[in-house]
Amino acid sequence: MKNWRKPFLCRIVLAHTRGMGRRPLSINIARKDQRELAKLLSGGVQQVRVVLRALALLQLAKGASAPQIANVVPLTPQAIRNIGRRYQQGGLERALYERQRPGAAEVLDDSQKQRLIAMVCSSPPEGRARWTVRLVAEEAVKRKLVPRVGRETVRILLLSHDLKPWREKNVGGGRPG
């Protein structure tokens, strides 16, 4: 077993791929940005992802490679390289913080929300003791307050205004009883 050598194909592959790893990302952080990072890390409560990105950026500036940093900071090497690239392209703000994401468009505008809440604060329809989320959604469409609305949208709207009409009779007054 002393004279065992790697198979021929392995020797060829190793000879041709030697030194072909990713070159380390060299980043020079401006003095102002270094002070900002130090202030951020020594300051009070911050988002965990911002602190991790700041630590990774400082390590990149010291010349550490992304895989080395990934052993210390719980980020992937690719995420660390992206942080460095974002710093080079857009500065500290872009490296540490994410851009605002568009998200889904609001289903109801302000006037529709106000009309729905006013309806919930009034008396429920004849034959009903109280409003339910399903009843609010059905009545809003029936009364043409909104073209269409889902129960979950109604539930979130009522919750944001701390209204629980299904718990109490005559939430906003309504019929004397």
33's torsion region: left (phi>0), alpha (psi -120 to 50) or beta?
alpha
Q: What pTM, to 2 d.p., does this model score?
A: 0.52
Q: How many CB atoms lie within 10 A of CB 118?
A: 11
Contact 166, 149 (CB under 8 A): no
Q: Minimum mean pLDDT among 21-25, 78-82, 100-104: which range?
A: 21-25
Average of pLDDT values for 13-24?
Answer: 58
Condensed to tens digits (0 to 9), the pLDDT of residues 84-133 reads 999 999 999 999 998 887 888 888 999 999 999 999 999 999 999 899 99
Contact 60, 27 (CB under 8 A): yes
- Residue 18's pLDDT is what? 53
Condensed to tens digits (0 to 9), the pLDDT of residues 32-74 reads 999 999 999 898 888 999 999 999 999 999 989 999 999 999 9
Query: Which candidate, 87, 145, 75, places its Cα nearest to that of 117?
Result: 145
What's CA 146's distance to the chain center, in Å? 30
Q: Which 3 state secondary structure label does DSSP give 133?
A: helix
